[in-house]
Structure 1
């Protein structure tokens, strides 16, 4: 384990450069630049609130906050895993030339998405202040579901990155999967409107539990239960362990498929 840690520390400056490059490329030639990370969730919240506020106005109090909190969780997952999926293929030229720990490319994509997550979090805080929502001490606990979200996305990103090198069709199939996953995550709708069988299906989605935990501490001033926390930790650890194992088993074959 000490060898892996020393290797990571040795290439840490490269990781910083990769993250900086990813952020610059994303907002290159953009007038507002990184400010879009703050404006995007706010604009989408306004649009979706107008469309869905009448539909769910009796079920959800302060629907814009409910919607934006859901967007923050799901958009980060989508952005992090989709970017991680193409991280190895996108850096094929560098991988072919010099030795670099290949997991750094996946981590860099997740970290660059995390920067967007922080901006979206700031947007949520601004909306809470603008709508005069109560800010409670439980807000500080939001770091727990967000940390689990980042780890979960990293684990899934490692799996996708390793498998996409060999099977490029995954990139097209995953976009369809993410669309379906969005409807199986309570981003827009309240869980109370779901029939019992569909409620159970939605709860099988790891993002659902993390999203509920996040909303509880941010909006409802409620500390999540130990059961919810334990389930989220177990699911996250499983995906991280499986992701590391799949990536480790396949990384030596990357050069043959790039």
Structure 2
């Protein structure tokens, strides 16, 4: 208990640094952009339009209001992908600072995932535009959607801690992870419905072993279907999130003292 108390004290001691790092990442992303923060809304809209044209004609079973179905899944997956890729490079990217002064190393992947969450909130504007433009029916359950964002944020933190640590020792992990993310995207029902898959084994594997399925399904339940997620999806999302966070923090803490030898 005293260990966690000490860690919380260190966290609050460096909370201003965390805020500055998040603010820096957000500003740097849009500094040379003509559209600025508007791009966080336009980018998912443009991708949604392209993917809607391509994929909506590829399935025999039509998905009702496909643009909303697509953007709800894409929003969450894009947050996970962007945040973990940024977190993976965070320790190596701040190697110069870590060599000069003491800073809690966990602050860097934490800042990257948090700044990506800020971008995700901007991109929610695109989702609301699509909902309004397509006259989609929404319920008050939409107001509960931040719960799922918290779940996937915790899950992404755990993955970010693990990836940032392992990338210090194995630099090729960045290239390997890009291939993993691509495969993961197709293994997650972002632009297709699981009902369109006839192979029950594949459906079982996706539901049982794909963590992102829980968050995409939970988010769609609240936003697209207008209902509260079932117990398996809702509580499974929390369990997977904290399990990932525990594993990520454990590995990060175990190897962080060796970082200085490799950065």
Measured against the shorter chain, the TM-score band is: over 0.9
> SS of the counterpart of 1:82?
helix
Match status 1:155 vs 2:151: no
Match of 2:108 among 105, 110, 122: 105
* TM-score between both structures, scaled by the size of structure 2: 0.95
Matched residue count: 258
Match of 2:224 among 219, 242, 245: 219
Match of 1:37 among 26, 35, 40: 40
Give the conservation status (yes or no) of the 8 Å contact 2:56–2:62.
no
Match of 2:244 among 232, 239, 242: 239
1:145: Cα distance to partner? Answer: 1.3
Match status 1:174 vs 2:177: yes
**RMSD of aligned alpha carbons:** 1.1
C-alpha offsets along residues 175-217 of structure 1, whole Å, 9 cap, x if unaligned?
Answer: 0000000010001111111110111121110001110110011
> SS of the counterpart of 1:55?
coil
C-alpha offsets along residues 57-79 of structure 1, whole Å, 9 cap, x if unaligned?
Answer: 74310000011111101100100
- Alignment partner, residue 206 of structure 1: 211
The 10-residue stretch of structure 1 (70-79 or 26-35) with the greater mean CA deviation from structure 2: 26-35
> SS of the counterpart of 1:221?
coil
- Alignment partner, residue 89 of structure 1: 92
C-alpha offsets along residues 36-73 of structure 1, whole Å, 9 cap, x if unaligned?
Answer: 11111001001111111222374310000011111101
C-alpha offsets along residues 102-160 of structure 1, whole Å, 9 cap, x if unaligned?
Answer: 11101110011001110121211121111111221111221221111110000001000
**What 5-or-longer segments of structure 1 have no aligned partner?**
none
Give the conservation status (yes or no) of the 8 Å contact 1:78–1:178.
yes
Whole-Å Cα distance in 2 between the matches of residues 234 and 7 of structure 1?
26
- Alignment partner, residue 196 of structure 1: 200
* TM-score between both structures, scaled by the size of structure 1: 0.97
Whole-Å Cα distance in 2 between the matches of residues 181 and 112 of structure 1?
23
Match of 1:252 among 239, 250, 257: 257
1:7: Cα distance to partner? Answer: 1.1
